[in-house]
Structure formats: C-alpha cells, structure tokens
Chain A
C-alpha cells in the first residue's frame, strides 16, 4: 500500500480568517500531525499563487492527499477539486475544512479559542482525508430535446431561444392556445405597446418553427427519470375537433347555441361551447368544451357538425396519452391574478362597480367584451371618477401573501394613462402604500403620469368601501396619511390592483419534479443570486412568474437564461454526475424498501434480482444527502466520502482519541 502523504494548507482569507484565527499557528500544529508531509499558511489559497503552490507541493513532496482549511465548501470546493486534479491527483482525495463561516466569523470575540477550534477541525480533516478513496465521475448521455411546461411569454421565449440554438423542444400548454397572461393584457408598461401586437409574431413563430412541437389543450400527466432521460406522459385532452382538418373558419362557433363566460375575458364576456379563446390564437383551431357542449349534456344538437365545411368535428374522440423522452425540462407555469376575498374588505363581488385590474385589462382591450369602452358594470355608463387600490393581495400578512407583486404599481400607471387617453375628462386617483417604480424608465413614467395626466396619488390603504344604494357609486374611507386626515371620497368605479399568485397547477408540477417552493408559494431557484434559473433537481429549470412575480422584460430575460442553461447539457451531449452518492451493498440489503420511502429525491428503487428484491440507487437522482444511510436497518447503504469509518475517524480526532 502506498504511504499516505498529506499536504495541509491554512488560509488567511485576508483578515476574514487571519484577523481572528492564528493561521500560522494552525499550520505549524498541522505539521505535527501523523502523515502530514507539508503544512503551509497562505494569504489567499484560492488565488492563482495559492493554487500553484499546492500543485508544486504535490509534485515535489509526492503528496497523495490534500487538506485545505479555508471557507465553506459551498464557495471553493469546486475550485480546489480542480486544483488537485490539475496536480495529477484524484479530485476526491481532498478534504475541505471550514474555518471561516464555522470559526472566525462566529468566534470573533475569542481569538485563542477560535485558533484552538481551527486546530481541532484541521485535525479532524487530516484524520478523515487518510480514509478517502479515489472516486470517478460518471457521465450520462442526454436525450436531445427539452420539455417546456407553460405556453405564456416565458415558455414561448424559452422555446424560441432553444430553437435558435438548434435544440428541439416540446411546448405544453393546458389551454387551447399559447399566449398565456400576456395575451390577455391590453398594453404593456412603460412604453404602452399593444401587448398582443408584440406577442402575436412570437406566437406565430412558435407555430411555424420546425424545432418546436406544440402541445396545446394538454396536461402533463406524469414525469419520471432524471437529467438527460426524463420520461414524460402528456394527456392530450379531447378537443373534439380534428386538428388537421379544422381551418379555423369559425362556422361551428357561429351556430353553437351555448354561451358561457369566457375565461380569456375574465368572465366579463361570453364565448360559445365551440370556441377559440381569442382571434390571434395559435394554433387557430377550434375546441369543443365538453363541460358545456349541449351534445355531451343531452346527446342532441350537433349543429356544429352540420355547419363545419371540412367535417372536422369529432364528438366521439377521447383524451389521448402520449409519451415523450426529453433531456431537460423548463417550468414556466406562470401566475394567476389574485382573487380578492371577503377579508380584503374591498367589496369585490359584493358591489357591482368594483373590479379587478385583470378584468379592467380585458374591458379596455379593443377586442374585449366592451370593444375597448370604459364602462361601469352596473349601468354601462362611462365613469367620471375612477379609483385604483394598490397592494390588493400583496404585502398582506393577513391573507398570507407577504411579498410585493412587483408589477402592480406600474400596470396601474399604464391603466391610468389608458383611461386618460380614452376619456380625458375622467379623474383618476390611486390609493397606494408605497410606489415601486424601480425599472428602467419607470420613475420617468411615474413622473410623466402626474405631470401630463394629472393622476392623483393618495397615500393610504382604504379602510372601508360602501355603496350608495341609489347611484351605486362607491364611497371610500381612508386615511390620507401624508395629510394626517381621514377622507371620505366618492367614485364611479373602483379597480383593485390585484397581485400575482402562483398559477393553479404549479403545486402539481412541483410535486412531479421534486421542486421546492419558497414561503410565498412560488418555485425556488437553486441559488437566489448565482443560480437563478436552476433548481435543486438536476436538469430542471424555471423561468417567468413561476419563480416570482416579475414584468415582461425580466420574464423574457429569464426565459432566455433558462433556455441557455437547459441547452448546455443537451448540446454537450452528456451530463457529469458528482460521485458523492449513496451506494448499496447488495449482500447486506434485504430489500425492505425503507430507503425508497425516506428519499426526498426518489433515487432508490427496488429491483428484482436472482436472489430476490434488492435496493438500487439511481446515481443521477442521488444528491448524497445520507437520509437512506441512516434509515437503513441493515447498514447496507454507504454514502461516498461520508462512510461510517470516515465519520468515526473524524469524531475520534475531535475527541483526540486513537482510531481503533
């Protein structure tokens, strides 16, 4: 057996460590430990010079193990693994000891004790590094296509970006058309571009792209597998219209006798049971809504069948399951507008002339239910005094949404401008708590709004809204906090600037993919700053409002980032798996399945073998957390680099005891 020769490097990290821990003394102490050939302290171990020194020492002193006492492995473990590998050693014959986050930063008050603790930790590291074994990184081949869940602007942009990189993608959307929430908006801030006008070309491009397979009116039924090899089951809901034959002429909708509230128009207008959600829909194919169609209710009608010039109507089709294999997944499930509750005390659904901003958005849209005229729902008259109420469903602990929805301040400004342009005589007031105009050109927009459009800003959250029984006008009581005065004012129409909540299906998708969520219910990225589109599940990326409320420019930027991140393993053709995983000793395993139950990543599975059922770890799914190791009643699972012997030797070193 080769004699173990260890090199120990103790970092000063400028004064981060050196200001508290006597790094020199720690290095001198390390020199006295068993098998340590060389021990040094350096100012910045992670610098080129520090790394170069390690490489030289490995060659000169024939080191075969390296211990670095510096910061958290979260920061530089990868750096040092590479250094060790460059020096010609197996990168896993290296142990990192954290003397910054766990020593100098937390024990700044007691320098001597901190130095002693650093020595203890280094001794533990040296003890463990002796028992480390060389590990090999495994590579998996990657299926060369991506699944994009959600056909809003985030999903569309991600799919288009993948397409431009030459990567094939499957874009799945649960409604009959792609477009999502952006298609519902009238204008966009701060440029007041027509929303559908800038979105429609992208939708058409998706429809025409040979690299994008579009699955509309489709749910994701199940996802299994791991990075590079996801098995996806899609449920293609029965459209009852033959997609190849339908020419989108609309004859079926013309004759259809059933009228139901349109989801696209937020229930403000009606649609037929045979419908396209909006004129620019992609694909422009009609859908027959099973829940409302007369034929499915009574077995009669079939007027659409007679009207259709291409015989495209097929009432007897059923849902179809389709299997896909993809290498990566982008989740872009988006948001739902918040529905005001009774406990918001703003009289939504109680008073006719209180509406949400999304409903207002459809109302002012030229293709909306009122053809773009601003009217009061109660009597159809043009309102002369309109109030917006900000932070409805946001920044409110009482209803559970503590977060700021990011876009409401700005879309309210845009809505106010639209009102002023449609009806210049209208008085517009905005009840706000704080105005957050943080983006490029936003503050200027806020200024222009007050200057040119004379929008009145009232700082205070309305306390009470009540209705005049005769006129159905609304009275608002609020403290005008900057005046220190309670005011009662009358308005013809009140628009609640509702916040954003995660879309209804987010939880289901998160469950399938093992994604974690932050407290606000949106999907959690792997690192808030440095890994903003990755998730803790390898090969799964997030973008758009599924991650957090955000405006269209940020969504587009994030969608492209997600596409680039997802394309990386696909264009490389393989994915490297860290070998720090759990391994099953087949002889000891009795196939009880406890590991399968406890694993948060679905990594272990039971396989039938010649000698009965045994557990097996799917390495790509394993994150090396060690839950199965501790759960296994027969000690049949071992976590690489965290084996019982290795941990025990560390423990013994901590207690200054000899390892048995």
Chain B
C-alpha cells in the first residue's frame, strides 16, 4: 500500500523531493558582514547583484559556485552556506577589475577562508597541502614512482631529499609553529622533537604567540 502511494506521489518523482528546503531566521547572521571587514574584506553590503563578477570568473564557468551568489550569501550572513565555498577562488582579481560597485570579491574570498579556518571548516586538501609543506617544503607531495624512475635513469634524488634542504625545511616548520599555523589547521607534529634547541625555540615561539 505504502509502495503504491510512493509511486503515485507527485508522479513517481519522489527522488526529486527533499526535506523542507527553507532558510530559517536563525541561519541569518547580521554580524557577518562586519566579520568579513575585520578579516580584510570590504563593502559587501553595497553589491547590487549585477552578475558581472560571475561572468568574468574562470571558476564560476566550471563549477556550481557563482561569485555573485557568494557575495549575496555574505550580505545575508548565511554562514553555513558560504563557508564551504571560498576555496576555489584563484584570486585572479578579474571580478574586482570589472565590478561597477568597486567591491573586491577576491579579497572577500580570502577573508572567508580566514573565517572558515577559524571556525573549523577546513577541507581535507588544505590539511594535505599543509602536511606536505611541513614535510617536504613544497605543497605537492613527491610521488614514489618518480623516485624509482629517477633512480633507474641514474638521476640524483629530488632537491627536497638533499641534506642541505633539511635546514630550510626545519625553518619552514619553525615558522609554521611560531605562527600557530599547524595548530590552526589541525596538522600537528606527529613525532616528538629530537633536538633540545628545537624544543626550546618551539616553547619560546609559543610563548610569543600567547
């Protein structure tokens, strides 16, 4: 009986029906615009939604996200919707160049990333990139196949593996710790510190951060 009901229910199109899709009062955050300003964005409220930014945006062409929509969500303070979105922006600033209201959407995206990270909306790939930077001093992890190929071709190891780069990588790690960056994106050192000097510096840096 119930199966029959389901089939007849709006012409068998049940899969298209979702739970009530309304945005409730509590999802609006009137303080959000001020927060964006605090993190370096500007003027979001003055946007009159002409859509010029979407038209020039290389990512809006290829994805479901539209620059104009993100700005509108910011105006309304729909935090939960907007904090998922800013990571695709390439900060090419074309939106800013074309905007008749002189709004810098790219900088709004950067501000949104700061807020997203602060509030814990951190996509996996950000953590992965951070881990790579900490470990290899570069954002892309070296592939094992490349190592093997290089050995076969009698080429030396990649630069990150050379001992003299170890010092540089240590410095990168030091900066990340000093800035509290590793904690912020939840990428903490797995292994304990080997050198006492490193630990002391670490403490000093932490003291500074506090």
Q: Is the CB of A463 within 8 A of B55?
A: yes
Q: Which of B51, B100, B102 contacts A479 (CB 8 A)?
A: B51
Interface string of A329-358 (1 = CB under 8 A from B): 000000000000000010000000000000
Interface residue tally for chain A (C-beta within 8 Å): 21
Q: Is the CB of B50 within 8 A of A433?
A: yes
Please give the distance in Å from A342's CB to the nearest CB on chain B: 12
Q: 8 Å CB contacts to B: which residues of A440-488?
A: 459-464, 477-481, 484, 486
Is A237 positioned at the interface, with any CB of B under 8 Å from its CB? no
Among residues of A, the one whose C-beta sits closest to the C-beta of B69 is: A484
Is A385 positioned at the interface, with any CB of B under 8 Å from its CB? no
Residues of A within 8 A of B98 (CB): 345, 398, 463
Please give the distance in Å from B42's CB to the nearest CB on chain A: 12
Q: Is the CB of B50 within 8 A of A481?
A: yes
Please give the distance in Å from B60's CB to the nearest CB on chain A: 7
Is B52 positioned at the interface, with any CB of A under 8 Å from its CB? yes
Q: Which of A391, A433, A464, A480 contacts B56 (CB 8 A)?
A: A464
Residues of B within 8 A of A477 (CB): 55
Please give the distance in Å from B59's CB to the nearest CB on chain A: 11
Is A660 positioned at the interface, with any CB of B under 8 Å from its CB? no
Interface string of A284-320 (1 = CB under 8 A from B): 0000000000000000000000000000000000000
Is B27 positioned at the interface, with any CB of A under 8 Å from its CB? no
Task: State A486–B54 Cα separation when bound (angstroms).
Answer: 8
Is B29 positioned at the interface, with any CB of A under 8 Å from its CB? no
Please give the distance in Å from A149's CB to the nearest CB on chain B: 33
Task: State A391–B51 Cα separation when bound (angstroms).
Answer: 13
Task: State A396–B51 Cα separation when bound (angstroms).
Answer: 14
Q: How large is the interface on B (under 10, 10 to 19, 20 to 34, 35 or more residues)?
A: 10 to 19
Of the candidates A345, A391, A397, A434, the one having the most CB atoms from chain B within 10 angstroms of its own CB is: A397
Is B118 positioned at the interface, with any CB of A under 8 Å from its CB? no
Q: 8 Å CB contacts to B: which residues of A480-536?
A: 480-481, 484, 486
Q: Is the CB of B100 within 8 A of A486?
A: no
Q: Which of B48, B54, B66, B102 contacts A434 (CB 8 A)?
A: B48
Residues of A within 8 A of B100 (CB): 391, 395-398, 461
Q: Is the CB of B102 within 8 A of A463?
A: no
Task: State A433–B50 Cα separation when bound (angstroms).
Answer: 5
Task: State A462–B98 Cα separation when bound (angstroms).
Answer: 10
Task: State A397–B48 Cα separation when bound (angstroms).
Answer: 12
Please give the distance in Å from A395's CB to the nearest CB on chain B: 6
Among residues of B, the one whose C-beta sits closest to the C-beta of A397 is: B102
Q: A395-B100, A398-B99, A486-B60 are in contact. Are A463 and B54 (CB under 8 A)?
A: yes
Task: State A486–B64 Cα separation when bound (angstroms).
Answer: 11
Q: A397-B100, A397-B102, A479-B60 are in contact. Are A464 and B55 (CB under 8 A)?
A: yes
Task: State A463–B67 Cα separation when bound (angstroms).
Answer: 13
Task: State A460–B100 Cα separation when bound (angstroms).
Answer: 12
Q: Is the CB of B101 within 8 A of A481?
A: no
Among residues of A, the one whose C-beta sits closest to the C-beta of B56 is: A463
Q: A434-B48, A461-B50 are in contact. Are A478 and B55 (CB under 8 A)?
A: yes
Q: Is the CB of B68 within 8 A of A481?
A: yes
Residues of A within 8 A of B61 (CB): 486
Task: State A510–B178 Cα separation when bound (angstroms).
Answer: 60
Q: Is the CB of B49 within 8 A of A481?
A: yes
Please give the distance in Å from B9's CB to the nearest CB on chain A: 28
Interface string of B94-119 (1 = CB under 8 A from A): 00001111100000000000000000
Interface string of A213-239 (1 = CB under 8 A from B): 000000000000000000000000000
Would you list 23 pairs from A and B whose C-beta atoms are within 8 A, ordered by A residue? A391-B100, A395-B48, A397-B100, A433-B49, A434-B48, A460-B52, A461-B52, A461-B55, A461-B100, A462-B52, A463-B53, A463-B56, A464-B55, A477-B55, A479-B54, A479-B55, A479-B60, A479-B66, A481-B50, A481-B51, A486-B54, A486-B55, A486-B60
A398-B99, A464-B56, A478-B51 known, 19 other contacts, Cβ within 8 Å: A345-B98, A391-B100, A395-B48, A396-B100, A397-B101, A434-B48, A461-B50, A461-B55, A463-B52, A463-B54, A463-B55, A477-B55, A479-B52, A479-B54, A479-B55, A479-B66, A480-B51, A484-B69, A486-B60
Enumerate the 6 nearest inter-chain pairs by beta-carbon distance, A residue then B residue, closest first: A463-B55, A479-B51, A461-B50, A479-B54, A396-B100, A460-B51
